[in-house]
Amino acid sequence: MPTRYRGGGGGNAEWARLGEDRERDVLKYLKDSMLARHIMFIRLRQQNVRFVNGVLVFCPLPEHELGAADVIIFPTGRQAIAIETKSRKGIHAEDQKKWRARWEKSGRKYYLVRTPEELDAII
């Protein structure tokens, strides 16, 4: 049965049994795990919000930012790694596939992570 992450990190995850997996649970596990292991990371957000004349406006993202991975991690002594988190059934969008191709073309690793076990295998 699918599970939901409740916290803990560092490979000692506590999962609650629920009816669905959630991308945010995989992302939370990733962040908790990086903090527990003292691995630097940056959470990328796909939003371009500005105030225009006192009004909050969502602006289109620049082409090179579309589809960027959720997190870039910086393991000690290794190259930066891009990680995209998804639920078990989550779909890897075309923009994400294009960004992944550009990242990998630069000689860096990119992983699509759907479970804590997949993340732990990378680190």
Q: How far apart are the first and last CA of the chain?
A: 25
DSSP conformation letters of 17-61: E-S---HHHHHHHHHHHHHHTT-EEEE-----EEEETTEEEE-PP
> Which DSSP symbol is given to 78?
S
User: In terms of residue numbers, what domain contains 93?
Assistant: 3-122
Specify the CATH number for the domain of residue 111: 3.40.1350.10
pLDDT digits (tens, 9 = 90+) for 8-40: 444 434 444 443 467 888 888 899 999 999 999
Going by pLDDT thresholds of 50, 70 and 90, the confidence category of residue 45 is confident
Return all residues near 97 (Cβ < 8 A) that are at least 6 apart. 67
- Return the SS3 of 95: helix
Count the domains in the chain. 1
pLDDT digits (tens, 9 = 90+) for 104-116: 999 999 999 998 8
